[in-house]
Structure 1
């Protein structure tokens, strides 16, 4: 089901909570997508990946237990800003969080064919939308987090550090709503745009082949951390040969300097894109560490 307005949202969500398995997809820009490309063609789906996105959306996964935590998480799937790993790093995370009593929202954001600042606009619009309609979702407006994997981790970290940046505003009425996440969960994230450490595919997809020094600095999220950056959980593997583990370390160090509460788990083995895959040794148990962290911050009840 796809809606262009929110007036039916309370009824739909009530039905979803009863059914538990149903979801609702919401247009993120019902008034019109900023800088919309009318000749972009249809979205491409292969069962796992989505690309060529021109109609950003949120898919809602209501909490599937009788006592929801009144916490929300907006999920940013990875894919190098070229596609979204929508099933493994979107839907599966949402189902896990739903089982913890969290209302999850999977973000379908614009990608390389739009480039910066479109993904930032989409994630900030998602936060503003969820916060503006928190009562409809049965959540608290001060319990809205963002979770992201790989390039989706970069997008989540951008939301947590650039939520007041002018590039994330479009002049819409919702710009008046705070876009600051209340907490952040980063899975093997791209953090820096510095050539020596970044994932070059993500950098080129987001900023182009020859970004300016100012663009590189702005989108190196470790350089944008400040005292109001939200509490953060970081999870990465030492043997990640796609996005170097130094990305998470750089962000953790920046959070520590800014005295932002942070917790980081670095596993010896797990590679890149661990998601919820079994058979990765200790790394496959990261969900337990994440659940403990969420419980310690009173975002879920164990």
Structure 2
């Protein structure tokens, strides 16, 4: 059965606009939080409305976070910002957004699903959206009931590229707009990358993602080849990929893991034999379907979730 999400207006309801940088209380589960209440920087303003269909959204004009509360009695004070994949063309908001949020909720984790700008904008706008999301959550940590030092990112495919961008380019000038909140750290405290696009290199990259994020500007390839942006300040990272992935070569995961190891960053990499690209939480994929158990163990080992 097709899942059709309610199409959102480009102009959010006043009650949602009120949820901005200075929260007094946590919002209700499912609340949509505008990322740029002062106005979206660089907004094109000439494109068609957002399009929602089959659990996916395209043509994002108003970046937002969707708030998801932990579904347990003992929340962990950990938060994760989830970046859905879709090649920087669409966002797989249900399969790589809500499904992950529901799973994270069961681990006692507060989740925020990011709706970021896509190919219509290209770099640096998706980077600005994810870094603004981290800054917003950290700046409002007390209201959300989380620890400002326990904020991670999780991304799939091109969303994995965005999450890894946040992990490596968190202090880059391209990620700032001059707003006062830029003074808040945008460095995530940990990252989970699902079959991520990492490199812009020929023969390794996902061509569609590279085209959409760089707009064919070769000068952006070195900056957005994230294996070359890793430093000792990159946060601890878990990477999940499969050998069967025919869309994003597993070399992306290998390159990033190697860079993390060489920089002395705590990292774990699981490469399963079977499992297609975009597998999400799909069952019946052999050992690959057990990746949530490995992720839970990794989070537990880092003291980020319930034991």
Range of TM-score over shorter length: over 0.9
Counterpart pick for 1:240 among 241, 245, 265:
245
1:134 alignment counterpart: 141
Q: TM-score, normalised by structure 1?
A: 0.95
Deviates more, 1:259-268 or 1:40-49: 40-49
Tell me how far apart the structure 1 counterparts of residues 306 and 199 of structure 2 sit (CA, whole Å): 34
Alpha-carbon shift at residue 38 of structure 1 (Å): 1.6
Per-residue displacement from partner, 1:168-226 (whole Å, max 9, x unpaired)? 000111100000000000000000000110000000011113x22x3100000000000
CA contact (8 A) 1:12 1:24 kept: no
Residue 172 in structure 1 maps to residue 179 in structure 2: yes
2:8 alignment counterpart: none
Aligned ranges 1:264-279 → 2 under 5 Å? 264-279=269-284
Tell me how far apart the structure 1 counterparts of residues 24 and 196 of structure 2 sit (CA, whole Å): 34
2:114 alignment counterpart: 107
Tell me how far apart the structure 2 counterparts of residues 38 and 101 of structure 1 sit (CA, whole Å): 39
Deviates more, 1:119-128 or 1:31-40: 31-40
Aligned ranges 1:247-266 → 2 under 5 Å? 247-266=252-271
Alpha-carbon shift at residue 10 of structure 1 (Å): 4.2
2:4 alignment counterpart: none
Tell me how far apart the structure 2 counterparts of residues 182 and 253 of structure 1 sit (CA, whole Å): 20
Q: Could you list the runs of 5+ residues in structure 2 that have no partner in the other structure?
A: 1-12
Residue 72 in structure 1 maps to residue 85 in structure 2: no
How many pairs are equivalent?
Answer: 293
Residue 156 in structure 1 maps to residue 163 in structure 2: yes
SS at match of 1:75: strand
Per-residue displacement from partner, 1:53-106 (whole Å, max 9, x unpaired)? 010000010111010000000000000000001100001100100111000000
Q: TM-score, normalised by structure 2?
A: 0.93
Tell me how far apart the structure 1 counterparts of residues 290 and 270 of structure 2 sit (CA, whole Å): 11
Aligned ranges 1:1-302 → 2 under 5 Å? 3-6=16-19, 9-13=23-27, 16=28, 22-209=29-216, 211-212=217-218, 214-302=219-307
Query: Could you say what the CA RMSD is over the residues aligned between the two structures, in angstroms?
Result: 1.2
CA contact (8 A) 2:19 2:34 kept: no
Tell me how far apart the structure 2 counterparts of residues 11 and 258 of structure 1 sit (CA, whole Å): 40
CA contact (8 A) 1:117 1:167 kept: yes
Alpha-carbon shift at residue 12 of structure 1 (Å): 4.8
CA contact (8 A) 1:63 1:101 kept: yes
Alpha-carbon shift at residue 9 of structure 1 (Å): 4.3
Tell me how far apart the structure 2 counterparts of residues 175 and 12 of structure 1 sit (CA, whole Å): 22
Tell me how far apart the structure 2 counterparts of residues 268 and 233 of structure 1 sit (CA, whole Å): 17
Tell me how far apart the structure 1 counterparts of residues 111 and 293 of structure 2 sit (CA, whole Å): 18
